[in-house]
Amino acid sequence: MKACVVFPFLVLLLASPILRADAGLKLELTHLQEQHAKALAAAAEPINRSYLAALQQLQSHAEQMKDSDSVARIQAEIKALQATTVTHTDVHAAIDDTDWSWERPGANVPIHFSKDGTFQHNAFSGTWQAIGGRNIKLKAPFGEITLTFNETFTEYHLTAGDKGTMSQGVKGKKK
């Protein structure tokens, strides 16, 4: 009988470092993913800026030639490029010191994103950071989640992270 009591305790004691290591690995993976996204965005920025300038010059030439089909195709390419090249500065300009709704089934409460990288929800607070594109990562007491904003930064929805009761079905609108 003594072995039945001691064995589970021994297993938990031996597995404890593994469980802590697993949490550390998850945190390290998240950190690496964030650094990767930042590095890619930084490397692509001058390429995208140059490409945009070339497209704008080509659009001007197509307009002078009165080639409306080419103008339309070039404008579509410019719009597509601009939709994918949102910078951290753009994200901060759109959400620093703004109030939003935090909507999920059964709840609609305010959330405020501060310029200093913190946020305040009625039930919890934490930090936020731009992580590439129109995405921000929230670090809250219950875990980390990623919010993705629409092109005009007037709405967002939960795209990754904790799926617990505080974040289930989350979406929101700028107030």
Mean pLDDT over each residue of the chain, to the nearest integer: 78
Half-sphere exposure of 57 (CA within 13 A, CB side): 6
3-class state of residue 172 by DSSP: strand
Per-residue pLDDT, averaged over 26-34, amounts to 72
Q: Specify the pTM.
A: 0.54
Strand partners, 129: 137
pLDDT at 139 over 50: yes
Q: Which helix H or strand E contains 27, and what residues bound it?
A: helix 2-64
